[in-house]
Amino acid sequence: MLDKRLKKVLSMLDEDCSVLYDIGSDHAYLPIEAIKQKIIKKAYAVDNKEAPLKSAITNIEAHGLNTKIEPILSDGIADLREDVDCITICGMGGKTIHDILSGATLKNIHTLILQPNNHPQLVRKLVESIPFMIVDETVVAQREEVYPVIKMRPGKQTLDQKDLHIGPILRKHPSRAYKESLEQEYVFLQTLIEQIPDDKAKQPLIKKRDLLEEVFNEWRDNQTVFR
């Protein structure tokens, strides 16, 4: 039922996660599996579109979990319940995830597990607007793409630009797949830089390319072992 990304998210749910609020739940695969494996006791399958929510309801009923998983038609955390202690947001853009959680009051929440499809730096930037810090991060290679999975807990954290773009944990403990994806991004950026005639338009690309180069040199100098 779960693809590689959702399996990784499931594996990062803690034993002390009791009530899950799964935003963008789609088919409700994650809360269903989390209940079946007795990782959590209760869940809310949240989606802001009726069609995916109907699919979630069908799957919840098919597994006989009507009393343990409540479907909610809602946008983001607008209808966050007081008994929730864990939130997952998977398969959305980094900006969307950032907009959902930025400045939010997350009373009683002790775990966020976030899986952005792009712009993960915006998800990491959440440490500036909510009292949470990154405690774990990994990547999942699927369909020739590499997706980060970021786990956050209450705390304070300051990230520099390398941490924001690479990830504070992945920067110290990168996987080989992650390193290769960044090398591909570096080549892509270099190609774009060479093709764009406007010097001003090049600047953000040059900045990101140079940042990646600094990280590669950091890994080389530290003789980093890739998992």
Q: What does the pLDDT read at residue 20?
A: 98
How many angstroms separate the CA atoms of 59 and 55, rounded? 6
For the domain bounded by 4-158, which CATH number is listed? 3.40.50.150
pLDDT digits (tens, 9 = 90+) for 28-45: 999 999 999 999 999 999
Q: What does the pLDDT read at residue 144?
A: 80
How many angstroms separate the CA atoms of 131 and 77, rounded? 16
pLDDT digits (tens, 9 = 90+) for 181-195: 999 999 999 999 999
Whether the CB-CB separation of 112 and 151 falls below 8 Å is answered with yes
147-to-115, 182, 192, 218 alpha-carbon distances in Å: 7, 12, 23, 22
Q: Environment class of residue 63 by beta-carbon count within 10 Å: exposed (0-12), middle (13-18) or buried (19+)?
A: middle
Task: Identify the DSSP state of 151.
Answer: E
Pair type for strands 69-73 and 111-116: unpaired
pLDDT digits (tens, 9 = 90+) for 97-118: 999 999 898 989 999 999 999 9
The Cβ of residue 133 has, within 10 Å, a number of other Cβ atoms equal to 17
The Cβ of residue 185 has, within 10 Å, a number of other Cβ atoms equal to 14
> How do the domains of the chain map onto residue ranges?
4-158, 176-221
The amino acid sitting at 207 is K
Residue 1: is its pLDDT beyond 80?
Answer: no
Residue 225: is its pLDDT beyond 90?
Answer: yes
195-to-34, 175, 190, 191, 206 alpha-carbon distances in Å: 48, 31, 9, 6, 12
**For the residues 50-57, what does the mean pLDDT come to?**
94
Q: What does the pLDDT read at residue 65?
A: 98
Cα within 13 Å of Cα(52), Cβ side: 17
The Cβ of residue 61 has, within 10 Å, a number of other Cβ atoms equal to 12
130-to-118, 189, 205 alpha-carbon distances in Å: 20, 32, 29
* Token pair recorded at residue 67: 């009393």
Give the residues across from 89 on adjacent strands.
Answer: 23, 114
Q: Environment class of residue 127 by beta-carbon count within 10 Å: exposed (0-12), middle (13-18) or buried (19+)?
A: buried
Q: What does the pLDDT read at residue 35?
A: 97
The Cβ of residue 34 has, within 10 Å, a number of other Cβ atoms equal to 26
